[in-house]
Structure 1
Amino acid sequence: MAQCVRLCLLCWALGLLAAPLENMSSADRRSKHPEHPEPSQAVLQRQKRSWVWNQFFVLEEHTGTDPLYVGKLHSDVDSGDGSVRYVLTGEGASSIFTIDEETGDIHARKRLDREQQGFYRLRVRAEHKLTRVPLEDESELIVKVQDINDNQPRFLEEAYSAAVQENSPPGTLVVQVSATDADDPTYGNSARIVYSITHGQPYFSVEARTGIIRTALPNMDRELRDQYVLVIQARDMEGQMGGLSGSTSVTVTLTDVNDNPPRFAHKRYEFSVLESASVLLAVARLKAADADIGSNAELDYSIVDGDAAGAFSISTDEETREAVIILQQPLDYETKSTFSLKIEATNRNIDPQFATFDPFSDTATVEIIVEDVNEPPVFSTPVSHFQVSEAVKVGTVIGTVSAHDPDSSSSAIRYSIDRNTDLERFFHVDVVSGAVSTAKPLDREAEPQHNITIISWENLDPSQVSRGLAVISVLDINDNAPEFAMQYETLLCENAASAQVIQTISAVDIDDPPGSHCFRFSLDFSAGNNSNFTLRDNNNNTASLLTRRSGFRRVDQPLYLLPVLMVDSGHPALSSTHTLPVHVCECDEDGFAQVCGAALSSTYTPLHLHLCYTFILTCSLTLLAVMLWRLVSRRKAPHLEAERSVRENTVQYDDEGGGEQDTEAFDMAALQNLTVKQSSELQEETAPVCPASALTTLPDSVFQQCLRSRLAVVDSDSSAPPWDSLQSYVFEGCGSLAESLSSLDSTRSDSQQSSGDLQRFSTLAELYRDPEHSGGSSEL
């Protein structure tokens, strides 16, 4: 129907254009063509030739099989005799549009799409068919493609998403959607779009002309439903029947507001914890639920009642949003076995418009039950301090340690000392009472303080052990006499004047009196009538040695030994006498010593020298007695041979020795095995190497051969101990009554025999020191 209307309008327009042409006179028509000019007007007047045509229209999307008629061109020079030829050029000429050269009819050969191209510009001309001479000026022809409703509306986005707060009032803007139509908006209603909602009612609405989506219902609750999917339709032709439509989806998410208070799942919770739990341990976890999300669900927990002693604290686990109850103090089942805490959960971010909830929080009761465990003994004090005089007798009780069983069983406690802290075993503790007493004499100067560990355990359960510290301070007594502060060597010039100070001395005392030390100095009574020197006490723990005369001579007496008596201020006071040597020297003009009468001595006093000499003499006499005893032993009856089977070994350990502990550090089995082996070789070792008849006539080579034989035996003995030893070669020499290298008690006292024995001894010793036969550290 619409196409018919358009064709009628086109015909009516063409009729209006053709009417003036029919009324024109032939003269008028001729005046428009130069081929037939009037003679009188050929030069005076020229009128423009005109085409008989108007703007052409063609419907898009023609579905017929025959070419679509567009229009007709006709020139007034065309008399219908077939001499005029019409030519069409420009956009789509020949490919889309064709023209009948004789009649001027224009047809469209293809389907046209206005959305691809809305009009075409063509150029037309009329020319003589045979000569191709233009009969008309070339003119432009516009073919306009007429629109039909062949495009549906399309939304700018395939899907929309939007968000709106929950509980928003009706009419709250959510989002605006927009669609376009490719049809001609200036022709008809093909591009006039209206919007409607096909899915999503009654929660939301859309404005028909603008596409604005708004909320339609009040109190939409995110906790009940947090997302809606709407379907919006756009229809052209203003929504009339026959129009085309397109649709899109809109996902609307309700955003959360803090409109829900926290709520505990239970009003009472119960947890248990061992009384041995360590401080800062998390003993309980609980959570209050909040229907909100994000920051609106953030909670703060607090203990509002039941923790007056501050035994617990509470914090929030930010990841799980749980309340974490943390132990702050040690627990004791015997003291308190149950704690009842009131816990409150409160929203951290409260929205003022929803703060009408009263209160915007929740509370719950948490029962924490302390469970009993078997605990080790507890000392009454972790560190016990005792004082004891270094003069106390062994066995004196210096104090008592005390521990008790904290459990309800109240087991008896036993005590001992950790010997790693009392290696010298100075102290003893009573296993039942805990009384600490001395076990050895104490010496403050050696160790002024002892720190020992006392071990206590339950008698019923010895695995329950605890340790306490006992600090024992040793109090000083005056048990050490004063001594010289240093080793003094006093030099006295021969030309020293009388009353001249030649030395200042001081003293030290390793004791520690309550007050400071106070020493008194004087010459010993043995030097009381000394006419050469005098000692002056300076009353400041020093003393000065002065000359009592002048004119000392080194040649007369090069050395003076002055006994100095020093007395401390203890109770009772102790004294000591030390010798101060004074050397007489030749001095230069400046008083510097050049040559002294005697070598500078050490601090040994005559008493010390006397003791040294006595010790040396005693050692010499003892050694001589031992040698004589061995000499006699060698001449005893054969029944003593078994005792000689044990070889004497000189073994060096480089160790001070540890008493019975040496039995753990040294294996005596090696020496025992050696003794057994040596007993089997007794006869071989004790047998004389050379015949008795030839003892006085053996040459030196026999001695050398004997020594080599013994060395070979020792070197090949795999059971010999690895340390250096003093080997007994059982060869006492020849020509001596004592069967010894020594010439003592020998019947032959001539020098020839003695010199021969000494020569043999030298040969033996030289051979023994040979590196090939000795490790270098053995001694003959």
Structure 2
Amino acid sequence: MSTAHRLLKACLIMDQRKNLKGWIHVLLFIPLFGVSFGEVRYSLPEEMQRGSVIGNIARDLGLKVTDLDARRARVVAEGTRQLCELDTASGNLLISQRIDREELCAQASVCILQYQLLLEDPLQAYSLVLDITDINDNSPVFAAGEIKLDLVESTVLGRRFPLESAHDPDLGTNSVREYKLSPNEHFALEMSTQMNGNGYPELVLKKPLDREAQAEHVLKINGIDGGRPVRSGTASIFIRVLDANDNVPVFSQRVYKVSVPENSPIGTLIATLNATDLDEGVYGEIAYSFSHLSDKMGGVFEINPLSGEVRVAGSIDYEEASTHELDVQAKDGGGQASHCKLVIDVIDVNDNKPVIEIKSASANVAEDSKPGTMVALINVYDLDTGSSGRVTCTIPEDVPFKLVSEVKNYFMLVTDGILDREFQSEYNITVTATDAGSPSLSGLNVLKIVVTDINDNPPTFTQKEYDANILENQPVGTFVIKLKAEDTDDASNAKILYQISRDTNSEASSFLTINAETGELFTSRLFDYEQSVHFQIKVTARDGGDPPLSSTCTINVFIKDQNDNAPVVLYPVQTTGFIAEDMVPVEAPRGYLVTKVVAVDADSGHNAWLSYRILRATRPNLFMVGLHTGEIRTVRAFMEDDEPKHTVLVLVTDNGHETLSATVTVSIAVGDGLPVLNELFEFAEESPDSENITLYLIIALAAVSSLFILLISGVFYFKLCRRSYVYRSTTANLPVFPGTYCPPSFTDLSRCGTLLKDERYDSFLTTGSWRGDFRFVSNTDTDTLKKRSAAYQSTLRRTSTDRNTLKVRAGAPHPCYVMQ
């Protein structure tokens, strides 16, 4: 401050002849600033034109001008008066409204305006202090343009009559410095001083008055300030000379000093003034009045003209004025008057609640903010003084925030813990300001703080693994399954896109496509159960954050079988123009095993269960076929009139919803001299003598037991099949198919005892007696059903001598045929 004053003084000495505008511009470009907690101080004169530059904030604070717009910089005032504004394009602080020091600070010796420069993203606050200096923009003014005095002609010389002082709102040299009285013979003007140091003029009688010589005197008094240029105010003094009234009213005290609490009710007695006059009659009657009282004070106090009681007439507010000094006049009936001073000290009471103002435009904080991050700037003030004006500010303890104060009356709300938007997305924090008055008063303000989201949570699938089932041969675009992933983040951080993971096998990923937005999976090609029973893909859910986060789930796709494969007859082998013949002894009894139709189905489950029945035969009642075994047996013994050769057409059907079938022609030749094998005989002659009730009971019990054992064995068998274990009992002396009759797509597993590694097909052969099974001579190369047509074409026609290859073999294990 001292540097600026010295510069100003030097400028005034050099340019005394220049007008006021010249040194105003000098003051304008002398910013006084000192950085203390980000504080900048400027000194400027009042009454500057709107748009005038106070200073460049960006330069003085070391900020980049481009940051002002980017960080939404603005200037806010304490209270409601915004007298300046920030030009973000240049960084200049500009005058936005008329600044009148007398209006803002009245008679205060120092006029300070406090502002805050706020920047966001991140939130920062700088203190701006404007020191408003006074200019001589007001002339001295007398409250009454005419001063009337009644003086008796016997007034003694040297008698002093206090006059109303002129009022000049300016300060220092710009206020009233001297008074001048118009030239006259009887009166002179002298200055006197009040208790507070303020001077006021007094009219002093220098020459005796003579009513008969001059009954009235008219004088002029000028109040002159010390500004440049000089301003002055004038009042007229009308003096009426009265006949002798020897005594004037005399106050008991020259100065009365009292105190009254603010907000005292109207009518409260403040003081009782007392003046006495030794005269009698009209000259001894005293009337009290305020000699000069402003309109504002006239509405606050009133005096009883007869009793001298001063009472409250309006609202007394300590915050507006802490002290009132009133001039009281006691005037008798003869016009003689005396004056005293009434000094009223207003006692402050705690009648103002603390005020809480949120200075930040928005209170948003990112959930990954570190502890100590500034969230909002709070200005707290109390218009009361003393302990009533000391304010403490608190917030609830159960929030991850705290208040930090580095500048008086300003509190920074900073983070004091870890924030998690997914746990709590916003806080309504009640800021409580409490003063130290008795009783104390509190102010409340609710600050809403929104926790902004960051991408800290990856998408999460509702299941880590999904199972999907789909029938084979479904058209492309068939819906398979819908995946669902959830992300607890917000907005774009929670927008999820789905894609088939790159970790998925390329062949498997070609089977399915996915809707990136909905997570729905669709087929992109036809499925073939016989080619693939199960495959696995991985799907990645990726959010829209930066950087994005993702998670992966696994989808197990199981292909269900459809009945899309017809049964294939393995034996008897039939090629174009040739049908193999099976030989049967002419002595074969009823139930003798002639041959067996062996067929398989590439489907699985119920679709592969095969049934056999005879469509047509040379002799309808000579042969029968097992429904599930395919074994062809004799129904009766051969007769002489039976043909030597028979043809049987067998229909093989599967158990699918829409059945598929195949037919095979079996050629049977009846030969002489062939031995009858007991192992191929199914029915025994039953003796009528054995048919009794005991035998029936035993058979029934054995049948029930057998069924139970068969059920247990079947369950155990299927469990073993699922685990790729197959056990066959040894069957000796069964017919053996020559290797040339076995298609290359089938394999003899009699020596391995297990299914092939590829378990894509659940093969079902005959379910009859093991004695009725056939086996091939040797193993053949495995192949898929897709090559079976080639296998059939590669099968050579056999001559009639090949038919004799059917023979009894002993000790060989029963085979298990599986399609590759």
Instruction: Please indicate the TM-score interval, normalised by the length of the shorter structure.
Output: 0.3 to 0.5
Relative contact order higher in (CA < 8 Å, ≥ 6 apart): 2
TM-score, structure 2 normalization: 0.36
Task: Pick the structure with greater CA Rg.
Answer: 1
More strand by percentage: 2
| TM-score, length-scaled by structure 1 | 0.38
